[in-house]
Amino acid sequence: APEMFEFNQERWLYSLVRDRKGFVPDYVLAKSLDGQLAFVDDIRQDTLYIALVALMIGLLMSFIFSLGVSRPIVALKRATDAVEQEDFSHRTQINSHDEFEQLGGAFNLMIEGLEERESMRGSMNRLMSKPVVDHLLDGRIKTDGELRKVTCLSLHLDNMLEVIESMEPQPGLALLNDCFTRVGFCIDAEHGLVNRYSNTSLLAMFGVPVVDANQIPNAYQCALAIIDALEIFNAEYVPAI
């Protein structure tokens, strides 16, 4: 069996060869073990380089992928925070050409719907009380109609028309608006709804669209509040209305 020895810090394998027939003298056959195993070191070194390159590529791709995922998430988080602060003008800008972009587009459509709804709410709040507006926007109105008992309150300002006709158009309109604004506050406070205006008259209804078991007492209290409000109004303007 071959044996090993070291020479000049190099490992060698040697074996004594004997010719049993005696034709050839004995000789030693030796070969460098480290020289034969040099290719193994080369393979080990190449494998290490390849592993390091693969690791760097993996880290780079992981970083790129994380950016592609984190940026849309951050954009959606900012949009969510804006909606939470009731800022419906915010829009997301996601150009990833994947599901995140589709999600951002759907989120923008939702915000546009909320913005439109809030704009409508703001307009309606200037004309109706908050419970009525909430009832209308929540879609709790029967579009095919329904039969319901309601209480109506009719208001007519006797000599308001003559007073307005004696004034310039803008001051006369401002006077009428001021009067109806004060009356409107009284109606809203008692959960009423102005059904229509007609020149210097209006019709208010109680018990619509929200069912109100106290609609009659509310209408009565509203009438008393209107009388008080008009007395203050009359005291502020001359001639008295």
What is the per-residue pLDDT across 210-236, written as a single tens digit (0 to 9) for each?
888 999 999 999 999 999 999 999 888
Would you state the structure tokens that stand for residue 225, as one six-digit string? 């509040």
Please tell me which residue, 218 or 165, carries the higher pLDDT value: 218
Per-residue model confidence (pLDDT) at position 229: 94
Query: CA 123 → CA 90, 129, 143, 195, 240, distances in Å?
Result: 21, 11, 21, 16, 32
User: Mean pLDDT over residues 123-142, rounded?
Assistant: 65
Cα-based angle 18, 21, 22 (whole degrees, multiple of 5): 65
What SS3 class is residue 135? helix
pTM of the model: 0.49
- Tokens 């008080």 correspond to 228
**Which of 8-22, 64-78, 142-156, 194-208 shows the highest mean pLDDT?**
194-208
Please state, in angstroms and rounded to a whole number, the distance separating the CA atoms of residues 184 and 39.
97
